[in-house]
C-alpha cells in the first residue's frame, strides 16, 4: 500500500460523511481506521477544545475509554 492511498486530504472527494476513515501516520506502513461515533451540533461542543461539557479536562484517551470502549 502507498501512503497516497490513505491521504486524509482526499476526504473532500466525498459528498456524504464517511463512516470509516483510514490514515497512515508519518512513514509508518500501519493503517489506522477511525470510525464515526457521533455527529454533534456546533452548540454542544467547545470551539477550541472540541470537547463537550462532560468531557472537559479529560484526555482524548479518557474520553474514548469513557464513551466508546
Range of the domain at 48: 41-69
Contacts 24+ apart (CB under 8 A), 64-69: 67/37, 68/37
What total of structural domains would you count in the chain?
2
Angle at 69 between CA 43 and CA 39, to 5 degrees: 25
Same domain, 51 and 21: no
Q: Which residues of 4-39 are buried (b: 16+ CB within 10 A; e: fewer)?
A: eebeeeeeeeeeeeeeeeeebeeeeeeeeeeeeeee
Name the pTM for this structure.
0.64
- Same domain as 52, residue 27: no
Answer yes or no: are the C-beta atoms of 55 and 63 closer than 8 Å.
yes
Per-residue pLDDT of the chain (69 residues; tens, 9 = 90+): 455 565 556 667 778 888 988 888 888 888 888 899 999 999 999 998 889 999 999 999 999 999 888
Are 7 and 31 within one domain?
A: yes
Amino acid at each position: 500500500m502507498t501512503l497516497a492511498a490513505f491521504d486524509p486530504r482526499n476526504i473532500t472527494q466525498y459528498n456524504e460523511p464517511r463512516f470509516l476513515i483510514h490514515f497512515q501516520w508519518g512513514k509508518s506502513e500501519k493503517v489506522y481506521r477511525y470510525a464515526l461515533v457521533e455527529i454533534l451540533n456546533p452548540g454542544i461542543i467547545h470551539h477550541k477544545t472540541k470537547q463537550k461539557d462532560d468531557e472537559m479536562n479529560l484526555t482524548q484517551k479518557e474520553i474514548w475509554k469513557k464513551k466508546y470502549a
